Amino acid sequence: MTQDFGLKHGERVGVFVCECGMNISDTVDVKAVAEYSLGIPGVVHSSVNKYTCAEPGQQEIRDIIREKKLDRIVVAACTPRMHEPTFKACAKEAGLNPYLVEMANIREHCSWVHTDEKEAATDKANDLVRMAVARARYLKAQDETESKVIKKTLVIGGGVAGIQASLDLADAGIEVVLVEKSSTIGGMMAQLGKTFPTMDCPT
């Protein structure tokens, strides 16, 4: 199945499908996912790797980015919380802006949770990859900049949350300006007669 996302950018997307040893490939038909990926608009490359985060896997990504002049990559592997920084760095080394990297989590969201439903897990992996490619094609290159941080904060609202946040920030050595629209602080809490469970007066 193919779909036209109607986009005019991100036309050279590479999809890298990871086996994670057998963590993914025991349940998800990774070759079928790679084949399916080639039918997604914008995808010009797809391949399967045993351990994509290992150095040989990353080297393959770098080589293919250069060789096929990819302008986006999608890594179908594990949670981005684990290896998104790895693949961003990998893309950067190959000259691709690291913000043009997208991941599809076909391990935690497919193989690990659908171990007895191989066909359905593969269908879901296809869906996740198709959505990741669609997202990837919308990505824009970003520049990282550094700016000086002034250790001063503005807290808006002098209710309980605002007061506590101000106290915590002050305890951390940060100057705080607390702004409250009414003439007293305390917010809704100040209007209560008693509070559970101590039945103390809140003010």
Among 20, 48, 134, 163, binds ligand SF4 (CB under 6 A): 20
* Candidate segments 17-25, 26-34, 62-70, 156-164, binder of ligand SF4 by CB under 6 A: 17-25
Minimal distance, residue 27 CB to ligand SF4, in Å: 12
For residue 51, state whether it binds ligand SF4 (rule: CB under 6 A).
yes
Angle subtended at Cα 190 by Cα 184 and Cα 194, rounded to the nearest 5 degrees: 160
For residue 17, state whether it binds ligand SF4 (rule: CB under 6 A).
no
For residue 88, state whether it binds ligand SF4 (rule: CB under 6 A).
no
Q: What is the largest CA-CA distance in the chain?
A: 72
- Nearest residue to 16 (alpha-carbon basis) of 38, 26, 166: 38
SS3 at position 147: coil
Task: Give the Cα separation of 173 and 167 in Å (integer).
Answer: 10
Nearer to ligand SF4, 61 or 100 (CB): 61
Report CA torsion sign: 86, 66, 44, 54.
negative
Positions in the binding site for ligand SF4 (CB under 6 A): 18, 20, 23, 51-53, 77-78, 82-83, 107
